[in-house]
Structure 1
Amino acid sequence: MGKKTVFTFCMLMLLGSGAAWALSLNEAMSALPAAKEAGQLGEQPNGYLGVVKAGGNAAEVARQINAARKEEYQRVAKSNGIALGDVETIAGQKAIDRTPSGQYIQVSGSWVRK
């Protein structure tokens, strides 16, 4: 096997295995409470989840949920004739306010346990 063939095979294996690791939105939503309880994910003032401590599938959970949140924020902004940034800020504050004690929130760029 030539170097190009080996490289192509390895890339296909990596791409194929990545698809197996990808979560659906429903799976991400189901995994969110445990990831927050474990201190892996937290709420940010910009309305999106952030990775506090990498591990498991935390980054993928955040990516899936943040994509869904962004879609919803865009819809709300458009239907109300307001800026996306304003919707994100309002949603971020609400998410931080609703975060239970013991979970992480981002304050002035740093992660703190609420």
Structure 2
Amino acid sequence: MLAKTAQSLLSALTLGLILSTSAGAADLAQLKAAGTVGERSNGLLGLVKPDAPAEVKAFVDNINAQRQAEYQRIAAKNGVTAEEVARLTAQKVINQAAPGQFVDTGSGWQQR
């Protein structure tokens, strides 16, 4: 049952995350390609380069707030925790990371 719920959660969430705003998605893709930000195992973005400009930090904070709200919404709708939704999403996004992008699976940043 959890696996089936997880699949429907991931489908809904992935679509929601991808459809943020086209400008935001383009900016995120550029930041990931530059190695400035990466995906973390908690379902949130992280700063690979901690000395990133303030506008990059604000951008990451904004996306993370949107993600957390979406995790909460999906969790409430499906009777699971937001942490479970975030964890499942992180697994999928990290597994789909493009070569050269950074991911943190819990043991620090690693480049794909």
TM-score (norm. length: structure 1): 0.72
The ranges of structure 1 where at least 4 consecutive aligned residues each deviate by more than 6 angstroms after the TM superposition are none
Structure 2 CA distance for aligned equivalents of residues 88 and 41 of structure 1: 18
Task: Give the equivalent residue in structure 1 for 2:105.
Answer: 107
Task: Give the equivalent residue in structure 1 for 2:88.
Answer: 90
Please give the residue correspondences for 1:1-114 in structure 2 after superposition, counting only pairs within 5 Å: 26=21, 27-53=23-49, 54-56=51-53, 57-114=55-112
Aligned length: 90
C-alpha displacement of 1:83? 0.9
Residue type matched to 2:76 in 1? Answer: K
Structure 1 CA distance for aligned equivalents of residues 63 and 26 of structure 2: 11
TM-score (norm. length: structure 2): 0.73
C-alpha displacement of 1:42? 0.2
Runs of 5+ consecutive residues of structure 1 not aligned to the other structure: 1-24
SS at match of 2:104: strand
C-alpha displacement of 1:80? 0.2
Residue type matched to 1:55 in 2? Answer: A
Residue type matched to 2:45 in 1? Answer: L
Root mean square deviation, CA, Å: 1.5
SS at match of 1:58: helix
Structure 2 CA distance for aligned equivalents of residues 29 and 60 of structure 1: 15
Runs of 5+ consecutive residues of structure 2 not aligned to the other structure: 1-19
Structure 2 CA distance for aligned equivalents of residues 107 and 46 of structure 1: 8
Give the number of the structure whose alpha-carbon radius of gyration is greater: 1
1:49-71: CA deviation from partner (whole Å, max 9, x where unpaired): 00001323321121111111111
Higher relative contact order (CA 8 A, sep 6+): 2
